[in-house]
């Protein structure tokens, strides 16, 4: 891809912030892959809410935090520069290939990825399933653009590099470090459009915290990830199309019919309550399943699990219960699962394992 050809490779000054060249040689090598987002956003002034995401390049982002030299030898690459609402399967596949390639370099200790907050939970979970390494992979982001008063990006990058350079972070799957918290990729979610404290991990809690680069860890991920994952996207240029359909009172079954007619291979129902949908949508789902479309039931509710056969008869409908995966992450898992032919029972097993 053209973006690949335009990768910017920057070797940062090693002798900054009072770190001697001899000290710097002892530091772990960390690669920062930049994809855009508010962390790379520029506004007209420090006090205006409006801004454009994905305008500041990786060299500026990293150059704004010379203290990184205390933690690591850092080099940066620009993989994309988009607001994460424009994140796509194509960028994911390109990013996964870069992360796997960079981590295969023996002298690279870990990777940091800068990203927008809007879809970071999807990218993080995608990488959690397709990166095959125990080395730390850490995504970070910011709620305030780089030009804002009290921009949160620089400290988030600092903490992210501190986690990526930390041997204790290895084997914990893909992590998201933001606002002093270390989230596991699976189950973390954005809860506020504007608050700096926007991310929560509602079911399983945090993996740990990072306070000015001082890391504490509370747990390992509970499900299969990274080096244990059998999903492989090497050489792929596209992923199966999976749609998310949002349920509400009076929702029309035509959403399901339109999705199937326009070529979706899978559907995630963002159901009400415990992954529920009305009678008409259930009938349309049954037809979709009979036509070979795989349907997973998740929920539009922030917390809790969607269990099999609670109010919706999965056995009769041929549907899969998403457990604690919310619709955006359930969609990622279904996309990867559909790279192979699988029946509803084996899909259900995957949703329990991953």
Closer to ligand GLU at the Cβ: 109 or 148? 148
Q: Which stretch binds ligand GLU (CB under 6 A): 5-13, 111-119, 156-164, 221-229?
A: 111-119
Window 46-85: contact mask with ligand GLU (x via CB under 6 A) = -------x-----------------------------xxx
Taking CA atoms, 45 is separated from 146, 151, 152, in Å, by 10, 12, 16
Give just the sign of the alpha carbon dihedral 119, 124, 130, 131.
positive
For the chain, helix (H) and strand (E) counts, in that order, are: 11, 17
> Other CB atoms closer than 10 Å to residue 249's CB: what's the count?
6
Least distance between ligand GLU and beta carbon 119 (Å): 6
Angle at 310 between CA 306 and CA 316, to 5 degrees: 105
Q: Is 47 a catalytic site residue?
A: no
* Residue 117 sits in the site that holds ligand GLU (CB under 6 A): yes
Among 19, 31, 93, 141, binds ligand GLU (CB under 6 A): 141
DSSP string, 99-132: HHHHHHSTTEEEEEEE--STTHHHHHHHHHHH--
How far is CA 137 from its chain centroid?
11
* Residue 38 sits in the site that holds ligand GLU (CB under 6 A): yes
Closer to ligand GLU at the Cβ: 142 or 267? 142
Among 27, 68, 114, 118, binds ligand GLU (CB under 6 A): 118
Least distance between ligand GLU and beta carbon 168 (Å): 27
Least distance between ligand GLU and beta carbon 142 (Å): 6
Write down the catalytic residue from 38, 123, 140, 299: 38
Least distance between ligand GLU and beta carbon 328 (Å): 13
Closer to ligand GLU at the Cβ: 132 or 190? 190
Among 28, 43, 76, 116, binds ligand GLU (CB under 6 A): 116
Structure tokens at 145: 């653009």
Q: How far apart are CA 121 and CA 351, in angstroms?
A: 17
Q: Which of 42, 41, 56, 57 lies closest to 7, judged by CA?
A: 57
Closer to ligand GLU at the Cβ: 62 or 103? 62
Question: Contact, 29 vs 73, CB < 8 A?
Answer: yes
Q: How far apart are CA 55 and CA 52, in angstroms?
A: 7
Residue 259 host element (H or E): helix 254-261
Nearest residue to ligand GLU, using CB? 116
Closer to ligand GLU at the Cβ: 34 or 255? 34
Give just the sign of the alpha carbon dihedral 306, 312, 313, 319.
negative
* Residue 124 sits in the site that holds ligand GLU (CB under 6 A): no
Applying CB under 6 A, the residues found at the interface with ligand GLU are: 37-38, 53, 83-85, 116-118, 141, 143
Mind telling me the catalytic residues? 38
């Amino acid at each position: 891809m053209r973006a690949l050809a335009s990768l910017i490779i920057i070797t940062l000054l090693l002798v900054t912030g009072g770190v001697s060249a001899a000290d710097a040689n002892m530091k772990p090598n960390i690669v920062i892959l930049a994809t855009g987002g508010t962390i790379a956003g520029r506004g007209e002034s420090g006090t205006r809410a409006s801004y454009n995401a994905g305008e500041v390049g990786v060299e500026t982002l990293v150059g704004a935090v010379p203290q990184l030299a205390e933690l690591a030898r850092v080099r940066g690459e620009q993989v994309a520069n988009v607001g994460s609402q424009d994140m796509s399967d194509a960028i994911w596949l390109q990013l996964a290939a870069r992360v796997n390639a960079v981590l295969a370099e023996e002298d690279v200790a870990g990777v940091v990825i800068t990203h927008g907050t809007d879809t970071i939970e999807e990218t993080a979970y995608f990488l959690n399933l397709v990166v095959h390494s125990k080395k730390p992979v850490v995504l970070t982001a910011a709620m305030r653009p780089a030009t804002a008063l009290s921009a949160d990006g620089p400290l988030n990058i600092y903490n992210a590099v501190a986690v990526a350079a930390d041997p204790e972070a290895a084997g914990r799957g893909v992590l998201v470090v933001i606002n002093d918290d270390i989230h596991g990729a699976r189950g973390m979610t954005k809860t506020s459009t504007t608050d700096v404290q926007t991310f929560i991990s509602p079911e399983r809690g945090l993996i740990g915290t990072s306070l000015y680069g001082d890391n504490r860890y509370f747990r390992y991920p509970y499900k299969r990830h990274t080096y244990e994952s059998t999903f492989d996207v090497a050489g792929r240029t596209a992923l199966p199309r999976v749609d998310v359909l949002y349920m509400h009172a009076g929702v029309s079954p035509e959403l399901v019919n339109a999705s199937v007619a326009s070529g979706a291979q899978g559907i995630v129902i963002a159901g009400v309550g415990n992954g529920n949908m009305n009678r008409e949508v259930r009938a349309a789902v049954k037809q979709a399943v009979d036509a070979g479309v795989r349907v997973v039931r998740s929920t539009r509710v922030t917390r809790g699990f969607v269990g099999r056969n609670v109010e919706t008869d999965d056995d009769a409908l041929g549907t899969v219960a998403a457990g604690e995966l919310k619709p955006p992450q359930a969609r990622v898992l279904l996309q990867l699962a559909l790279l192979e032919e699988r029946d509803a029972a084996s899909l259900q097993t995957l949703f329990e394992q991953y």
